[in-house]
Amino acid sequence: MSLDLPVLFTILMGVAILAYVILDGYDLGVAMLMPAASEPEQERMVASIGPFWDANQTWLVLGVGLLLVAFPAAHGIVLTALYLPVIAMLVGLMLRGVSFEFRVKAEGWHREMWNAMFWFGSFLASVAQGLMLASYITGFQPGFGYFLFGLVVAGGVCGGYVLLGATWLIWRTDGELQRKAVAWAHWGLLWVALGIALVSLATPLVSETVRNKWFDFPRTLALMLLPLASGLAWLWTWHAASRIRKGAPLPHWAPFAGAVALYVLAFAGLAYSLFPYVIIDRMTIWEAAAHPSSLKVVLAGALIVLPFIIGYTVYAYRVFRGKAPEKLYEH
């Protein structure tokens, strides 16, 4: 049986995007929480993400690169339709990169300024990603109503990143900052519930194909396990964070694991809804795929690059495991 290369590249692209959302999501969330923390707490928050945040964005480059080379027909349509939010996201990512480096050596009001820029760049990138998600699942439909929907989804994405950032801080810090992170995690969970509900409602309303896949009973009864598992993961994350605040002997990584499970389950539901379309109801992965000879060359390159990315990621998280230090760099 021959290998279905478009399906394989869809899986690789999906894994890369999911890895980016989880890994860069928590450091975007940490940055957006900085205005709610004191100056010493801000230093520790930055120290908790310092060794990882730059490399986390590698997964975004990989995901977009796979879309470009494996599905060139879809790449042109998607990036043309999402031109403005993509530009906004890139501006936000560049701004936060510059701010992160400059704030290390800045003092006084200059450091406060770069902290604000770090927050704003992270917020801008998160909002842009929310607008991109809303536009994608509604088939790039124009109109003021769709724009309002995009803003609400963008708020859900920001809340989801705050959840990842807060649970990351529960894992990597202690004391008063950890207690604050529990409250932030509860707030983020409420936004995640709103975001998942909106996306789940909008997708079948926009697409008849998705409606048929979701409500073709009894064939889709097994699909009901996804919302059930998501509800359990949501409750687990809330409960685990609360227990840690009360000093229960629970692993501090437990809330973060619950938040990751929520993202994985939501992503699985979205993937089930959209497959085999790369552009909902307009273009399948086979219609958008490059020539098989090109895909084979790209696959060979991906199989060389992926082990290095995964290996470095695992090594970095192993070396910098444990609670974050008080400061990342000394002047």
Q: What is the pLDDT of residues 110-146, one digit of tens each?
A: 888 888 898 999 999 999 999 988 888 887 888 887 7
Residue 60 has pLDDT above 50, yes or no: yes
pLDDT for residue 251: 87
Residue 201 has pLDDT above 80, yes or no: no
pLDDT for residue 161: 93
Q: Dump the DSSP string for 58-116.
A: HHHHHHHHHHHHH-HHHHHHHHHHTHHHHHHHHHHHHHHHHHHHHHHH--THHHHHHHH
Average pLDDT of span 183-208: 82
Does 221 or 72 have the greater pLDDT score?
A: 72
pLDDT for residue 1: 36
Q: Dump the DSSP string for 151-199.
A: HHHHHHHHHHHHHHHHHHHHHH--HHHHHHHHHHHHHHHHHHHHHHHHH
Q: Which of 229, 318, 331 is nearest to 272 (CA)?
A: 229
Q: Which of 232, 235, 236, 245 is nearest to 182 (CA)?
A: 245
Residue 283 has pLDDT above 70, yes or no: yes
pLDDT for residue 261: 93
Residue 166 has pLDDT above 70, yes or no: yes
Q: Which of 112, 29, 61 is nearest to 305 (CA)?
A: 61
Say which range, 54-63, 203-212, 224-233, has the weakest mean pLDDT.
203-212
* Average pLDDT score over the chain: 85
Alpha-carbon dihedral sign for residues 235, 33, 177, 315: positive
Cα dihedral: 167, 170, 171, 176 (round 10): 160
Q: Residues 6 or more apart from 247 whose CB is under 8 A from it?
A: none
Residue 195 has pLDDT above 70, yes or no: yes
Q: What is the pLDDT of residues 228-280, one digit of tens each?
A: 898 899 999 999 998 888 877 888 899 999 999 999 998 888 888 888 888 88
> In degrees rounded to 5, what are phi and psi of residue 26?
-70, -35
Q: Residue 330 — very low, low, confident or very high, per pLDDT cuts 50/70/90?
A: low
Please state whether beta strands 283-284 and 277-279 pair in parallel, antiparallel, or not at all (unpaired). Answer: antiparallel
Q: Dump the DSSP string for 198-229.
A: HHHHHHHHH-HHHHHHHS-TTTTGGGGHHHHH
HSE-CB of 190 using CA atoms within 13 angstroms: 5
Q: Residue 329 — very low, low, confident or very high, per pLDDT cuts 50/70/90?
A: low
pLDDT for residue 2: 46
Q: What is the pLDDT of residues 286-321, one digit of tens each?
A: 888 888 888 888 888 888 888 888 888 888 888 888
Q: What is the pLDDT of residues 11-36, one digit of tens each?
A: 988 898 999 999 988 989 999 999 88
Q: Which of 182, 178, 187 is nearest to 240 (CA)?
A: 182
**How big is the chain, counted in residues?**
331
Residue 71 has pLDDT above 80, yes or no: yes
Burial of 153 (0-12, 13-18, 19+ CB in 10 A): buried
* b/e code 228-265 from CB counts within 10 Å (16+ = b): ebbeebbebbbebbeebbeeeeeebebbbbbbbbbbbb
Average pLDDT of span 76-80: 83
Residue 331 has pLDDT above 60, yes or no: no
pLDDT for residue 182: 92
Identify whether the C-beta of residue 146 lies closer than 8 Å to the C-beta of residue 138: yes
- DSSP3 helix / strand / coil % (the chain, rounded to 5): 80, 0, 20
Beta bridge partners of 279: 283
Share of the chain above pLDDT 90, in %: 20
Q: Return the DSSP state at 324.
A: P
Q: Residue 237 and residue 181: Cα distance in Å, rounded?
A: 13
